[in-house]
Structure 1
Amino acid sequence: MIEPAPLTSTPAVAPRSRPHAGSVLFVGLALLLVLVWLSPWTMPLKQSEVLFSAATHTVLELFAVVVAGLIFAVSWNAHQRERAGNTMILACGFLAVGLIDLAHLLSYKGMPDFVTPAAPQKAIAFWLCARYTAALTLLVVALRPWTRFRSDATRYLMLAAALSLTAAVYVLQLYAPQIWPVMFVPGQGLTPIKLVAEYGIVAMLLVPLALFWRAPASEATPLLRATAITILSELCFTLYANVNDIFSLLGHLYKVVAYGYIYQAVFVSSVREPFLRLSAAMRQQRAAEDRLQFLAYHDPLTELPNRLMARTSFRDAVARQRSGRVALVFIDLDNFKQINDSLGHLQGDLVLQEMANRLRALAPPGATVSRQGGDEFLLVWSGVTDAAALAPVLDMLLNRLQEPIMLAGQELATTVSAGIALSPDDGADFDTLLQKADTAMYHAKHQGRNTWCTFAPSMLSDAADRLDIRNGLAQALQRDELMLYYQPQIDLATGRLIGVEALIRWQRPGHGLVSPARFIPVAEECGLIVPIGAWVLRTACRQMAQWRAAGAPPMVVAVNLSALQFGRGDLEQDVHAALEQAGLPAGWLELELTESILLQNPEQVLAIVQRLRKLGVSLSVDDFGTGYSSLAYLKQFAVDKLKIDQSFVRAIDAHPDDTAIVRAIVQMAHSLGLKTIAEGVENAAVLELLRKLGCDEVQGYHYARPLPAADTLSFILAAQQGAAPATA
């Protein structure tokens, strides 16, 4: 059950204390009804056929119709999109109620013919339709959350629905009255069907009564009163014997009072409170107008011109330009997120303000400095001859911007990257140049940051290629386009096959076999490496289980892991599920970690690695020697093996420096009790040199290229018969 909120958008307040006057009124009306019903002294009034005349009925009903019309008119004309849509539900619902009440008025006994002769049966039918419409409206208002409509068109649909309902009731009663059951018999009074219909209205109203009672906002009080008094009104119409007696009079009076409370609810919401707020808002408007005018063209944090003014400045610069070019220089702070994350956004805002002040002071004469948003700034620079002429100023700009900033009692050094696009060389309109300057800026970031780049058309093709790969990669898993190849790993001392490394491939329709070097970095950037990594684990374990069942000797399948799998994925669950689903012993799986994984949040990684080791899997460090120095972490993480990167291995026989590096890695690994495996072994000379250096295991084209699963099984079974064959 959803509690109603106030008709206005003001915050909810503490639960209401019931207004004393409203309680007294309701109790008084209820006691009056009970008195009339039970007292023998009111018997003449209950039997009267003239007490409630057609004229009195006309006056009361006409008043009710007018109030219903006012409910609609006030709510409809005071409508604002930010207001709760429930006010509009009341408006359209009571428009229909008022129109049906009008038909009831014209059909009352003693009134002139309204298409068909007036009669109690006819009037009662219109009456019940109006009452059920009112009850349904209050029920919807009570149940619906007090939120605005998503579309302004909703209120027109509701108006159409209200008018359609009214038209349907008119047509059915005036032109097909026989469909209505008999609800009044002259001389006998109400039929059981009429009584059941009235009690049905009462039952329906009990739900909004309970919800309005529990509503925490005092603005719902008029609706609570209206609902309670409407229930009293309906009870009156279960008691009358003829349409002119005291119960009919009381029922109509109560209905008018209830309509008055509903009007009070919409009037307070739509007219009185908006008027009071308007008087307060006007006092602030004059002061705000100047500020709004400023903010329309400036950034509120740095007070630099915003993108709108930068666009205008560019257009004016192009119009004034007689020779030369107009440059857009897109500037972005490097690693600004780290400042926000470590020092907080308040300190980050201070950095942005300081950078804005520096740019304002350092910008060339006539250039417009603007903030685009976030940590992005833009220079609109006219009178530029060519990109080379920008170099001295940009170098000076980057050097000055990286000077330390005093923040929170400490010096904070930051750098920026910049991209440049020239008009008309790179485009004539602002948006095109801005996009290209942005592209050049990201190219500068990829080159190591703290530098600047001039836009080149090849940058767009690179960006488009990465976007195309990302879009295709998002569907590759679902379309079963990924596959695994396996490269054998050989024990150097015995020649025995000791494992295979799982290597991912992408067979993309229309593109052929896409190199991992192209799509893996994109998968890392967009986070797709997490589901792809989980797929590799499942597939490799399932394939190794199949080889094991086919007679493969004990060995391992090595699977590379990404740093994102540690930070964003559920790596432990993925490993456990892959082993369990494949029915593969944990000792048959080896996980390859890069040095960067060990250095990123080492406490978290260490905890995960320790739990993985408890599962029984082995661990190795991939591409060792190409990353940061991580010797201090090797013992702590208790890995089993170091994989020597192929950049040191491939030409080790021709480069003494590589030989020295490999010798150092092997000796260091052995001193820590670790094995080493060299990748990229392509000829016998390299193999022999690695054997002399003490390397434990090798893999490379000298033994086999990466093989499809079927060919790998043939290699495994052949290797069982003797030493693995060299294929060089």
Structure 2
Amino acid sequence: MVLVLGVVLLAVWLAPPSVHSSADWFPVALHAICEIFAITVAVLVFAVTWHSYRPGQPSNLLLLGCAFLSIALLDLAHVLSYKGMPVFVTPASPEKAIDFWLVSRALTAATLLLISVRSWRPLTSRTPRLPMLLTALTMVAMVYVFGLFFPEAWPPTFIDGSGLTPFKIAMEWAIIGLLAIAAVCFWHARQSRAYDANGLLAATLISILAELCFTAYHNVNGLYSLTGHLYKVLSYGLIYRIVFVSSVREPYERLAIEIADRQAAEKRIEVMSFYDALTGLPNLVLLQDRILQALVSVRGDDNPVVLLFLDVDAFKLVNDSLGHAHGDNLLRAIGERLREGLPATATVCRYGGDEFAVLLTGLTNADDIASVPQTILDLLAAPFQIGGQAIAASVSIGVAVAPHDGDAPAELLRNAETAMYKAKQAGRKTWRFYSAAMNLEVSERLQLLNSLRQAIDQHELTLHYQLQFELGSGRIVGAEALVRWEHPTQGLISPDRFITAAEESGLIVPMGDWIIQQACRQAAQWRANGLDIPRVAVNLSPVQLHHHSLEAVIKRALSDASLPASALELELTESSLIEDTEQVLATLISLKSYGIKLSIDDFGTGYSSLAYLRRLPVDTLKIDQSFVRGMTSAADGHAIVEAIIQMARSLGLETLAEGIEDQCTADELLRLGCELGQGYLLARPVPAEVIPALVRRLRG
């Protein structure tokens, strides 16, 4: 900014003399505006420094403020004495105005010089403030008396017709000299942290540029006078900014820092009170508080509060063999895995010693609750790298569920701990519910899943086939593959029991792969034996449809069986088509382009929508048996079936009715335009080896 102002002054100096001498540049009104603005800023400098006084404030700020109050009063006298202004005690004249001006400018230079060489130390008490102020006002009073009543005591400074006198010019250069010395001092102190030396340096240099203007003008209304007054206002403004920052803004910034430090201290106290020092996890105090909040906010069986109590198995052995430092590191690592692996809504707590606790809400059924301890066991299955050694660690887990297992934090903790000891007794690295009923339910489900895993490996699963027919001619058009599980001790297990469990556990993927392979192999065998069954239909689970390996599995099964793609039909559920539609659509288009037939199973029971039907490359809609059986018993059953058939026809799709159990239903379906059907009336599901005899009997 100083450089720019210097360039401007150079441009003014290079302007023609006729430009300088024009009296139109700086009329009285503009002069008054400039001076009033400067006076206002000078008074603000005093007001800010005086009223923001505090212990520890540098005394130079107060000195600067008192000096600027004097400068404001002298500038006021100057503007009131300016040529063209009304009478101020005595008539206005250039001489009178310049006298007040020179004292004001000299006081400005002297003040800047004084604070540039004086130490920026704080006031020791309030006492020096009043003497400073009284000294400043007394000096102003003396200048007022001499300037108004003894003008002859001042050397002449301006002569009409010739301009400034040598005395006036010499005084301006003397003021410039004082300012130059001050500028040098500020330059050397510009790295100081005690005050804004750079800002004061800029204000001093701008004051020097202003004084250079006041040494050169021959007309008080000329361009030099205007430029000098504007530079003076800028220097005052810079000084006000420095004073405001030092007296007002910096204290608030320091206060903000102090507040932040206090908040950080409070945070540290909170951490010490509610968090474990070793792992950084919530401690027992915070856990109890969160259990209490959870019990209050989510009461009832529909929103249970679940508490898991974990004890590290054989932790004493780690401490005894590797040392307590390794044991502490292992506890930290376990806590970190639990915190990162469990949902963000879970509260993972270090209960104490080698014990942890996990608080969960929002789990609505036994399977969801049972999945959490299994997730924890899986999280901790991989060894921990502690001090360059691989340490295997496991936990025993007890699970308590409020409100059945307790409606108070202490009771819930106690029961979860009791369940944990039951898990220890069961052989460790496992978990137990405190509730016997829930434990039995989940144990049965786990036993079912474990048996199902073995069933896949031990070939306990078999496929039965239900033939599908053309209703008009009775011609066989296909066979639907239906999985059956013959348990060695429990006998035949209903698909309703194990299919859902397989989907929830992910076992449906390997099971589904096996079904596709077996169905393709069986269809190829029937063809090789001359049995005319055009295609075999296989149900696809939503889990399979969203699995990345589905296409590869299907193509490999067709290739291994040497079965054409048109001989395989995939039956899809409506729910699997709604979720992630774009990905599903891409998969179906790829399968369809390979030649595989596609149908929508149990149509009408899910989220039937013409919008997605138009986009999906399906061939057949299978009308759910609940609608077919309701054609004669339910008032709206007939209308629903008819609507589905008409909609399929409008979209160019075939319809296949499931669950046909009587001839009347079959006849009515045919009359409505349904081409295909299956059900007990036509053929029951039977093992693959029975199909040839069944086909011969039906044709006979």
TM-score with structure 2 length normalisation?
0.43
Q: Which has the higher contact order (CA 8 A, sep 6+)?
A: 1
TM-score with structure 1 length normalisation?
0.42
Instruction: Indicate the structure (1 or 2) with the bigger Cα radius of gyration.
Output: 2
